[in-house]
Amino acid sequence: MTDAIFPLVFGSEELRLLTAIGLGFLFGFSLERAGFGNARKLAAQFYFHDMTVFKVMFTAILVAMVGLYSLSAIGLLDMSRMWINPTFMWAQIIGGFMLGAGFIMSGLCPGTSVVSAASGRWDGLVTFGGIFVGSFLFAVFMDWFPALGSLYNGGSLGESVLPTLLNVPAPLFVLGVVVAAGAAFIGAEKVERIFQQRHDPVELAPKQTWQTPRYKFAIAGALVVVALIATGATAPSLERPGQPMREMTPLELAQEIIAGDPNLVILDLRPSSDSTAGIPGATRVASDSVVQQLLSSAGAAARVVVYDDAGSLRLTVQGWPRDLDYRHLTGGLVGWRSEVVTPAEPTGYGTEEREFIAWQNQIAAFFSGAAVRPSTVAAPPVIAGGPKKKKKKSMGC
């Protein structure tokens, strides 16, 4: 049981959305300063005389990859809560090739066209406009040609990552990518030098002082060291346990508690050092034997909900009675506090959203009220299902 603090859990979606402005700003600023607002500089990548695209992109991938896998290895990051691009092999192979063709025509990719347009370039603005048209054409073609739909969903591997697919320990794979990229950087510098004799580099190339090999090798060295530390740590696992436990959302659990289901068993698996109050009716358990005792006396119809602090729990139910209905609480106690105990702020989106919030607040009142004034617990509010809230999708690029 690790206490993974990343990815951060936000009290409200608004707060999470707010981070997008700052992080987007840094993204756009770095792209601009790298020279990616200039179509000529990007296009030069494909004529070998300015390999900036390759160098910037792979350095960024290395830094983020080493960071992700190291933090995951030492237990600070829970990869199972990360949104990982699902693999659709055929769609991504064909789409990638097409995007490359569009890239060299425009001299820009979708992200850099935004930066290019923002820095005043008409070709950037026109490219960005073209992307809207292309996305629309895709939507229309999906209706007209069923074959496109099969391509779109072709070669699905789900949330597949290369170390798992190739059965290589993740730290070793990460280290391999770092070494391979280091070799590719040296190659890119050589290629550039050969081709720059025939073409002038795109204007405003960085000054030579920054390009001393010492500087480059310092960065490469630092990355390798971090990768080695990651190798020493335990291998991160992206896989769900063999017999995965299904999830139950805090609001679902709240309804079950209010309904007073006698077969409901709630297990609090937080470390005993955490002395804050848990979910009403939960049993605090310290060891596996206590759990087994409790569960064997619970009867066959028992429905078991487990939670820890932040929902980072991933348990196999090995050793526990197999035929019970196990769930783990989405977001753990943190999720419970933010979704159930804290009243929701009205955001003013449509009647359904308001109904949902009113319903959520009814639940919040029940639990916070019951905890504060135990003598005045009235009849539980009539909570019949409530409007359904669907899982948020974050798809696309």
Partner 1 sequence: MKAKPYWNPYLAGVLLGLTLLATFLIAGQGLGASAFPKRVLATVGNEIAPEWTAANPSLGIYLEDDSNPLRNWLVIEVVGVMLGGLLGALSAGRFKATVEKGPRISRNGRLMYAAGGGVIMGFAAALARGCTSGQALSGGALLATGSWAFMMMVFAGGYAFAYLVRRQWT
Residue 327 makes CB contacts below 8 A (sequence gap 6+) with: 245, 246, 247, 248, 303, 304, 305, 306
Residue of 11, 100, 271, 319 interacting with partner 1 (CB under 8 A): 100
Binding-site string for partner 1 from residue 47 to residue 76, where x marks contact by CB under 8 A and - marks none: x---xx--xxxxxxxxxxx-xxx-x-----
- The answer to whether residue 246 forms part of the interface with partner 1 (CB under 8 A) is no
CA nearest neighbour of 333 among 276, 263, 258, 272: 276
In the bound state with partner 1, the residue whose beta carbon lies nearer, of 75 and 130, is 130
- The answer to whether residue 109 forms part of the interface with partner 1 (CB under 8 A) is yes
Binding-site string for partner 1 from residue 351 to residue 370, where x marks contact by CB under 8 A and - marks none: -xx-----------------
Mark 152-178 as b/e (b = at least 16 C-beta within 10 Å). Answer: beeeeeebebebeeeeeebbebbbebb
**The three-state (H, E, C) secondary structure of 48-84, written as one string:** CCCCHHHHHHHHHHHHHHHHHHHHHHCCCECHHHCCC
Binding-site string for partner 1 from residue 139 to residue 158, where x marks contact by CB under 8 A and - marks none: x-xxx----xx-xx----x-
In the bound state with partner 1, the residue whose beta carbon lies nearer, of 42 and 282, is 42
Q: How far apart are CA 154 and CA 162, in angstroms?
A: 18
- The answer to whether residue 163 forms part of the interface with partner 1 (CB under 8 A) is yes
DSSP 118: H
Site for partner 1 in 112-141 (CB under 8 A): 112-124, 126-139, 141
**The three-state (H, E, C) secondary structure of 297-309, written as one string:** CCCCCCEEEEECC
Crossing angle between the packed helical segments 52-73 and 213-232, to the nearest 10 degrees: 30
- The answer to whether residue 80 forms part of the interface with partner 1 (CB under 8 A) is no
- The answer to whether residue 110 forms part of the interface with partner 1 (CB under 8 A) is yes
Residue of 1, 12, 29, 150 interacting with partner 1 (CB under 8 A): 29
In the bound state with partner 1, the residue whose beta carbon lies nearer, of 182 and 278, is 182
- The answer to whether residue 7 forms part of the interface with partner 1 (CB under 8 A) is yes
